[in-house]
Chain A
Amino acid sequence: MNFRSKWASQLDAQAAQAEQVAAEVREIELEQALTNFRASVRAWSEAELSRSRMAVKAVGQRRWRLAAGWALGCALLAGGAGGGVYEHHQRVEAARVAAVARAAEQQRLVAAEQARDTEEDLLAKVDKDVSQEVPSAMEPLARLMDEAK
């Protein structure tokens, strides 16, 4: 029993020691990674600085983007305004065509009415003329009819 508890405590101590060593290793690894990271960033930065890049490049790009933005904005604005004007023009044109069509229709109706009136007058005249003028061959019959009245 005594031996078992001694053995267990020894195991616990060894486990704790192993855990401590593992933690120390992790810390060393972290330190090493951070050191490498620092060295890497510094190497990269120095390489970029020594490359002596053109500082104008970024400004130029920004100007170009700004100009492109303005051009796009102006194009959209012009497109919107042009579309509006076109739409308005289309509406006016459609109204004008409709007005012309209405006037033509009205004229057609008036002309048709006039034509109908003329036709009726002609028919009435013909009827009148026909009733007054009796052909000579029919005259005896007409006379008989008159006498019968």
Chain B
Amino acid sequence: MTRATAEAMAGRGLESATEEFARVVASHRPQIFRFLLASTRDVDLAETLTQECFLKAHRNWGSFRGESSAMTWLMRIAINLQKDHWRNRRVQFWRHARTNSVDLDEAGEWLPSGERSAEQQMLAREQVGRVWQAVKGLSERQRTVFLLRYVEEQELSEIARATGLSEGTVKAHLSRAVGKVRAELGGKR
């Protein structure tokens, strides 16, 4: 093999890797952003963390061996970035006062415009508001597991891989989280 041929093949390989990564970004960005938005309730922060997630993924794309799905791998990066963010925030105590998180009421206002009556819409808003209230009271892990299960509709095994927890621990966190949501829904009837 000549040097020119090897360079051409390497160039083509690089090109295909870049194209592949671009496809991954296009297909998974909405999910990553949605998860981070639900976790933080802060649009700017969710966008920043989503960008950082894909930047980190791009840097490490060569080391991705495909042992898990790209989505699980990206979600793991996003969860770690989110953890780092909250850890840094705890250290930078002067930032505590300032947060861009939207109010729970505002977050609960979003509903798809379906064929619902005004009464159904109101009931749905009330329910969503209560779920947000319960989610706010969850621990970081419980919230992550809850959102991955009920917003992203991931399987327990996928959640375990993304969070680095065992399936048993995921089940336990999920059970506690659902218990709190149930209590919130039942308690304010």
Q: B150 at interface (Cβ–Cβ under 8 A)?
A: yes
> B128's contact among A40, A48, A53, by CB below 8 Å, is which?
A40
- Which applies to chain B's interface (DSSP): helix, strand, loop or mixed? helix
In contact, A40 and B110 (Cβ under 8 angstroms) = yes
Q: A88 at interface (Cβ–Cβ under 8 A)?
A: no
Question: How far, in angstroms, from A103 to B160 measured CA to CA in the complex?
Answer: 86
In contact, A34 and B182 (Cβ under 8 angstroms) = no
- Which applies to chain A's interface (DSSP): helix, strand, loop or mixed? helix
**Which A-chain residue is minimally distant from B45 (CB atoms)?**
A58
Q: In chain B, residues 153-183, which have Cβ atoms closer than 8 Å to a Cβ of chain A?
A: 153, 178, 181-182
> A36's contact among B45, B48, B111, by CB below 8 Å, is which?
B111
- Point out the residues of chain A lying under 8 angstroms from B111, CB to CB: 36, 39-40, 43
In contact, B37 and A41 (Cβ under 8 angstroms) = yes
Chain B: interface residue total (CB-CB under 8 A): 32
Binds B, one of A8-16, A24-32, A118-126: A24-32
- Point out the residues of chain B lying under 8 angstroms from A48, CB to CB: 33, 37, 43, 46
Q: A96 at interface (Cβ–Cβ under 8 A)?
A: no
> In the complex where A29-B185, A43-B112 touch, is A38 in contact with B37 (Cβ < 8 A)?
no
Question: How far, in angstroms, from A146 to B93 measured CA to CA in the complex?
Answer: 109
In contact, A44 and B33 (Cβ under 8 angstroms) = no
Q: B138 at interface (Cβ–Cβ under 8 A)?
A: no
In contact, A55 and B30 (Cβ under 8 angstroms) = no
| Closest-CB distance, B78 to chain A (whole angstroms) | 13
> In the complex where A33-B130, A36-B124 touch, is A45 in contact with B44 (Cβ < 8 A)?
no
Chain A: interface residue total (CB-CB under 8 A): 27
Q: A47 at interface (Cβ–Cβ under 8 A)?
A: yes
> In the complex where A45-B30, A53-B43, A58-B47 touch, is A34 in contact with B131 (Cβ < 8 A)?
yes
Q: A108 at interface (Cβ–Cβ under 8 A)?
A: no
In contact, A57 and B44 (Cβ under 8 angstroms) = yes
| Closest-CB distance, A51 to chain B (whole angstroms) | 9
Q: B66 at interface (Cβ–Cβ under 8 A)?
A: no
- Point out the residues of chain B lying under 8 angstroms from A62, CB to CB: 48
- Point out the residues of chain A lying under 8 angstroms from B48, CB to CB: 58-59, 62
- Point out the residues of chain A lying under 8 angstroms from B185, CB to CB: 26, 29-30, 33
| Closest-CB distance, B35 to chain A (whole angstroms) | 9
> In the complex where A26-B182, A49-B30, A53-B43 touch, is A37 in contact with B150 (Cβ < 8 A)?
yes
Most chain B Cβ neighbours within 10 Å, of A30, A33, A43, A49: A33
Question: How far, in angstroms, from A58 to B46 measured CA to CA in the complex?
Answer: 10
- The chain A residues found within 8 Å of chain B, CB to CB, are 26, 29-30, 32-34, 36-49, 53, 55, 57-59, 61-62
The 3 A-B residue pairs with the shortest CB-CB distance, nearest first, are A44-B110, A45-B34, A33-B127
